[in-house]
Amino acid sequence: MGVSLKDLVKPQFIELNELTGKRLGVDAFNWLYQFLSIIRQPDGTPLMDKQGRVTSHLAGLFYRTANLIELGIMPCYVFDGKPPQFKSVAALRSKRKEAASINYEEALSRGDLSKARSFASQTSRLTSEMIEESKKLLIAMGVPVIEAPSEGEAQVAFMVRQGDFYAGASQDYDSLLFGSPMVVRNLNLTGKRKIPGRDEYLFIKPEIIELSKVLIELGINQDQLIMLGVLIGTDYNPGGIKGVGPKTALKLVREFKDESVFDQVDWNFEIKPADIIKFFKEPPVIKDYKLLWSELKQDKISGLLTAHDFSESRINNTIERINKSNKEKPQSQLKKWF
């Protein structure tokens, strides 16, 4: 879910090749949920192998990661650890998924495949088995995998500030609240995407958001950005303050400037706003980590994916593309990988 800053943040559209040679920290859970949501059959059914095991996450992970490596972009996937005790989004997501499941069945029964697919995308569930096999695939592809002690986005933001990543890659804006200097959205996504439930399309391009520019354009500081996000609603206070949208929240933060802004609104959450703010400012992160990209292991990749009925010829063709691109990279660039 994350905080909704879309109406306030102006991104800069870029071409993927502008990221060639750069290290990116990927919010792994964010991407996996994205794959589970969008990689589906016309009726909304996720990709599955002959045993009925969902494979949408593996398909998205393998081909997107391959495309990035081929372009000379160096991804590192950061997985969520233990969520903070006050994180309440899980219960809200569960209720929404239950409602979406009912709506999906109803749409399917009346033959409305467009609606069915839209509702089906809201029922995605990421299991521990999916997470583990995703890690195995990435390691076999020679890509670093890091497990955060808590939120993956917080860990990525820390590593961007340390200079280990050029930017964090996530669809959510929470990375900005965690203080990531640079965030990339729509990475490897281009073309048009249908708006769920409507006969309209959005044209998608990769975009980059620079935190310092956001703060200057909004006329606020980092602490105030966090307060703005909390007013709108985060994973820790879903839905935010009733009747307070992004523009109203910005107006309030500009006027009151500090945490006294929460005295002006009707706060109906058990958790105190100060606790949420503190978590965004001081999240648990690991500081002792190693980043090492290595050569891919074709046999392990093939074994894992063919066990899920992936086409062996397509797997090999993709790996050949990666190997070819690596051979064509300048020696100086290859040294950054290994």
Q: Which two tokens stand for residue 272?
A: 């105190």
CB 130, CB 57: distance < 8 Å = yes
DSSP assignment of 222-264 equals: HHHHHHHHHHH--TTSTT-STT--HHHHHHHHHHH-SGGGGGG
How many beta carbons lie within 10 A of that of residue 10, not counting itself? Answer: 10
Residue of 149, 150, 151, 152 whose CA lies nearest to 165: 152
Lowest mean pLDDT among 43-47, 101-105, 173-177, 221-225: 101-105
Residue of 77, 87, 89 whose CA lies nearest to 147: 77
- The whole-number pLDDT of residue 1 equals 56
Mean pLDDT of the chain: 87
> Where in the chain are the domains?
1-215, 219-282
Whether pLDDT at 189 is above 80: no
> Structurally, what CATH architecture does the domain formed by 1-215 represent?
3-Layer(aba) Sandwich (3.40)
> Structurally, what CATH architecture does the domain formed by 219-282 represent?
Orthogonal Bundle (1.10)
234-293 tens-digit pLDDT: 989 999 999 999 999 999 999 999 999 999 999 999 899 999 999 999 999 999 999 999
pTM score of the predicted model? 0.87
106-121 tens-digit pLDDT: 544 555 445 544 544 5
> What element of type H or E holds 169?
strand 167-169
Q: Which two tokens stand for residue 34?
A: 């994205």
3-state secondary structure of 24: strand
